[in-house]
Structure 1
Amino acid sequence: MIFEALKPQVETIITNDTKTTNERLLDVCKLLEKQVSYYNWVGFYFKNGNKNELKLGPYVGEPTDHTIIPFGKGICGQVAVSNENFVVPDVSAQDNYIACSITVKAEIVIPIFVNGENIGQIDIDSNTANPFTEADERFLEFVCQKVAKLL
């Protein structure tokens, strides 16, 4: 499985202390977008200080206007409130979906916890309908655990 092969590469990126945190996060995005064929946009959102909103962090893919997302709005905003993974097999079926691109068919968002607090998330869009499996969830949880050690 590709995810098992990617885990050591993620660890290598995260532990490379010659780069800044943002450089390492961007390298994780690049790795995932390049190696997983149906990951078409990969990025991080983080809680914006004491505000109830998310701020876009490093990402790879089409540019987005969604640099600030209020808690509760869209898939990312819902994960900020629920503290749970959110897998969307068909974004057109979601009434609280923020469209970033007409090519996006599915989305997966996994929260990042530091000391039990949801401080951000990894957000992945796919131009393939219903591509995400439980294996994606478990792998992305692993990625988020590793990223949490940086923050």
Structure 2
Amino acid sequence: MFHSIHYTGTREENYELVIKQLEALISGEPNLIANLANAAALLHQFLDNINWVGFYLAEGEELVLGPFQGLPACVRIPFGKGVCGTAAQNKRTALVPDVHLFPGHIACDAASQSEIVVPMLKDGNVIGVLDIDSPNKNRFDEIDQQYLEKFVDVLVASL
């Protein structure tokens, strides 16, 4: 059974550990929803100063809400709209230090101040995004981006 672990290393070491935990959680499990749910829960208990973490899954030219941890969220986001839709359309991580300065930001939770969205790419196609919000400005940086992209790569490889 999964037990909470105390993350006592450097940020990089802690991210490596959480990626190993993800690998253990999804190993041999083919169900997408189960794996995304566990991945969201894992990041929710690992990351501090966040108020939402979860997945949106691509359906045509829209992202549809998937497993998450946090308050109820926007259900559908068109590609190109908001931070999630922009990351999906560009197939590139969106690292936003202040969501209020992001053109067309969709405020699902008024408490959110910063956000990172990592697209999930399979065979060059966007199959979804990992979305993480924080109530603090400037919560996410290049270290978060690097390791969250690795986290998503591990997750997508299992699908």
With normalisation by structure 2, the TM-score equals 0.87
1:109 paired residue number: 117
1:43 paired residue number: 54
For residues 100 and 35 of structure 2, what CA distance do their matches in structure 1 show? 33
- 8 Å contact from structure 1 (residues 14, 146) kept in 2: no
> Structure 1 stretches of 5 or more lacking a match?
none
Of 37, 53, 61 in structure 2, the residue corresponding to residue 52 of structure 1 is 61
Letter in 2 for 1:41: W
- RMSD of equivalent CA atoms: 1.3
2:26 paired residue number: 14
Q: Shift of residue 120 of structure 1?
A: 1.1
2:101 paired residue number: 93
With normalisation by structure 1, the TM-score equals 0.91
Per-residue CA deviations over 1:10-55 (Å, capped at 9, x if unaligned) read 11112152x732112111111111111123211111111xx21111
Per-residue CA deviations over 1:70-114 (Å, capped at 9, x if unaligned) read 111111111111111100100111121000111101000011111
Letter in 2 for 1:6: V
Q: Shift of residue 148 of structure 1?
A: 1.0
For residues 28 and 147 of structure 2, what CA distance do their matches in structure 1 show? 20
> Structure 2 stretches of 5 or more lacking a match?
1-10
List structure 1 segments (4+ residues) > 3 angstroms apart after TM superposition.
Answer: none
For residues 140 and 38 of structure 1, what CA distance do their matches in structure 2 show? 16
2:37 paired residue number: 26
